[in-house]
Amino acid sequence: MGVVFAKTPKGHDEIATKAGGLTPRVRRVLIFVDGKRSVDELRGMLQSDDLQHTLGMLEEEGYIDLAGLTDKVGQNVAVQTPLPSITAFRELPAGHDPVDLQRARNFMTNTLKAFNGTLGASSLLDRIEEATGHAGLRALYDEWYHTIVMTREGKREAESLRSKLLQVI
């Protein structure tokens, strides 16, 4: 099943005026979003390592919206219920789970050390250790992601790492 996005009026205005200040790479992704191509098709055309994150940012800022879903053969499928943002965090359980919290903290810390080194991300590593609860770690998510994609290897692995972290954070 593929997700299809379309430009909103704000997205069309951005293409015409460049008033939103999008980077050339993000703008290029916005241009290719047409309400017909699935995310998988866009991934094949754009060769962007962080396409999922870019689409999530465009969606959250109101440049694109979910247009529909496609099945394996590319046929449109009716959307039964509203889907969450592709960067949405999972619903947290009612009770505090210290194991999940530590798992998320360890994942963020270990990936930063592996891709950026201890010194390269020392300030962020300290804040991850001091974060209280899932809300504290979620507040550091964007900075974690951007720090990871600043490295060559991190760019290649960014989407996989992002989806793994979203399962526990």
Residue 6 placed within a domain = yes
Residue 31 placed within a domain = yes
Q: Fill in the amino acid letter for 80.
A: Q
Q: What number is the average pLDDT over the span 113-130? A: 89
Q: Confidence band (pLDDT; 50, 70, 90) for 85?
A: low
Task: Give Rg (Cα) of the chain.
Answer: 17
pTM of the prediction?
0.54
Please tell me whether residues 67 and 106 are part of one structural domain.
no
pLDDT higher than 70, residue 30: yes
Q: Confidence band (pLDDT; 50, 70, 90) for 49?
A: low
Please tell me whether residues 6 and 73 are part of one structural domain.
yes
Mean pLDDT of the chain: 82
Please tell me whether residues 146 and 108 are part of one structural domain.
yes
Q: What number is the average pLDDT over the span 94-115? A: 88
Q: What number is the average pLDDT over the span 76-97? A: 62
Q: Which residue has the tokens 């692995």?
A: 157
Residue 88 placed within a domain = no
How many domains does the structure of the chain reveal? 2
Please tell me whether residues 106 and 162 are part of one structural domain.
yes
Q: What is the pLDDT of residue 79?
A: 53
Please tell me whether residues 64 and 108 are part of one structural domain.
no
Q: What number is the average pLDDT over the span 26-52? A: 85
CB-count exposure of residue 69 (10 Å: 0-12, 13-18, 19+): middle
Q: How far is CA 160 from CA 44, 67, 78, 127, 165, in A?
A: 16, 24, 28, 23, 9
Q: What DSSP state is assigned to residue 145?
A: H
Most confident listed range (59-63, 74-78, 94-98): 59-63
> What is the span of the domain harbouring residue 147?
98-168
Q: What number is the average pLDDT over the span 54-77? A: 79
Please tell me whether residues 73 and 28 are part of one structural domain.
yes
Q: What number is the average pLDDT over the span 141-153? A: 84
Tell me if residue 116 falls in helix, strand or coil. Answer: helix
Please tell me whether residues 69 and 116 are part of one structural domain.
no
Please tell me whether residues 53 and 7 are part of one structural domain.
yes
